[in-house]
């Protein structure tokens, strides 16, 4: 078992030869597509933020169905819980033959108390527990063909639209959790900010993030090629997205749109001139869903794995498993460090 694994297959430098006829290599894409549709995909998303920031509504709006904790707990009273509890809800949603098992992990109680010290600890613990579960499955002798993936692929962190800067609790949370999972910060209930205020607020947040060394998704270091870098740079220039969520529809110009109706106008959630919900949805679902999963698997999970295996000094009996000892004796720590 090698500690250091390649994140992508590297082709050695061979020259590309031209084909003089159609071979059919590209048909592999079709095969992959069909297989993916048969197998379906799993996606685990965590929402973190103070009570009342619209987390459940946003998740429902993102996936256009009632998938949040609030919709699934009958007679749920909106009381502030005394400790941070994690609450997972899973649904299988289907679109055009493609099945997705979506798990939404909610964190009620985060940041709601007077003293919020260490309120991030249950969250960090949960994320690490999922990695541990996966690791144990992986290290089994008789592994399942498809290891059930409960690792958190994405964590949406809700910032209240104060218009000022990041608060100490935001910095503390994102510093700690940004190291182990992909964080996507969003400005919640952004219909209280005008366009200029929104731009200034975002600029200040980006400054604060850089000043504190917080890396949010998409992280600069993991851009594979220049094309991706350009695309991701555009995204990085506009995070955090200012979002507004709703499940109510109204009539605007003869069309039914998702929106919030106030005395001074209707805020259209999917209108990019009004808020950036559509951008967030495109990022999370339409363009970077697979990338989120890959980053979680190839980078965050690997980091955890290396750390864990180093901790136990390659002593498999400590992990409660019996396996063949390494052929090359002790671990090659230099290689693993270069990976970190």
Per CB under 8 A, residues contacting other proteins are: 50-54, 78, 80, 112-117, 160-172, 188-189, 191-192, 194-195, 204, 207-208, 211-212, 260-268, 273-274
Angle at the Cα of 79 (from 76 to 82), degrees rounded to 5?
125
Q: From the CB of 188, what's the least distance to other proteins, in Å? A: 7
When the beta carbons of 112 and 132 are compared against other proteins, the nearer one is 112
Contacts of 259 (CB under 8 A, 6+ apart): 246, 248, 249, 250, 252, 266, 267, 268, 269
Q: Which of 316, 186, 285 is closest to 241 using CA atoms? A: 186
For helices 121-139 and 168-177, angle between their N-to-C axes, nearest 10 degrees: 10
Cross-strand partners of 265: 262
When the beta carbons of 191 and 282 are compared against other proteins, the nearer one is 191
Q: From the CB of 87, what's the least distance to other proteins, in Å? A: 16
Q: From the CB of 257, what's the least distance to other proteins, in Å? A: 11
When the beta carbons of 160 and 218 are compared against other proteins, the nearer one is 160
When the beta carbons of 131 and 241 are compared against other proteins, the nearer one is 241
Q: From the CB of 329, what's the least distance to other proteins, in Å? A: 47
Give the Cα separation of 43 and 104 in Å (integer).
9
Cross-strand partners of 251: 256
Q: From the CB of 259, what's the least distance to other proteins, in Å? A: 8
Contacts of 160 (CB under 8 A, 6+ apart): 49, 50, 53, 188, 189
Q: From the CB of 118, what's the least distance to other proteins, in Å? A: 9
> DSSP 3-state assignment of 229?
helix
When the beta carbons of 22 and 264 are compared against other proteins, the nearer one is 264
When the beta carbons of 251 and 315 are compared against other proteins, the nearer one is 251
């Amino acid at each position: 078992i090698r500690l250091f694994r390649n994140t992508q297959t590297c082709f050695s430098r061979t020259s590309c030869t031209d084909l003089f006829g159609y071979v059919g290599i590209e048909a592999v894409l079709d095969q992959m597509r069909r297989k993916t549709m048969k197998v379906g995909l799993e996606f685990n998303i965590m929402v973190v933020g103070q009570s009342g920031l619209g987390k459940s509504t946003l998740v429902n709006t993102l996936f256009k169905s009632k998938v949040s904790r609030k919709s699934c707990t009958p007679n749920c009273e909106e009381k502030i819980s005394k400790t941070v509890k994690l609450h997972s809800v899973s649904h299988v949603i289907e679109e055009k033959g493609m099945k997705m098992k979506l798990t939404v992990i909610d964190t009620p109680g985060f940041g709601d108390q007077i003293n919020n010290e260490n309120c991030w600890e249950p969250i960090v613990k949960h994320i690490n527990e999922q990695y541990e579960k996966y690791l144990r499955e992986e290290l089994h002798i008789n592994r399942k063909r498809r290891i059930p993936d409960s690792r958190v692929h994405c964590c949406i962190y809700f910032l209240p639209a104060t218009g000022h800067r990041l608060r100490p609790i935001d910095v503390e949370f994102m510093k700690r959790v940004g190291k182990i999972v992909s964080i996507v910060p969003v400005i919640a209930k952004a219909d209280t900010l005008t366009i200029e205020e929104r731009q200034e607020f975002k600029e200040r947040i980006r400054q604060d993030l850089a000043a504190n060394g917080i890396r949010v998704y998409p992280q600069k270091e993991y851009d594979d090629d220049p094309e991706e870098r350009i695309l991701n740079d555009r995204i990085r220039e506009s995070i955090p997205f200012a979002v507004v969520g709703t499940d109510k529809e109204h009539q605007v110009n003869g069309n039914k749109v998702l929106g919030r109706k106030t005395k001074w106008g209707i805020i259209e959630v999917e209108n990019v001139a009004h808020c950036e919900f559509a951008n967030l949805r495109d990022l999370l679902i339409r363009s970077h869903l697979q990338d989120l999963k890959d980053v979680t698997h190839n980078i965050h999970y690997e980091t955890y794995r290396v750390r864990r295996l180093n901790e136990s000094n390659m002593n498999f009996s400590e992990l409660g498993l019996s396996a063949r000892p390494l052929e090359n004796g002790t671990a090659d720590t230099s290689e693993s460090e270069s990976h970190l």
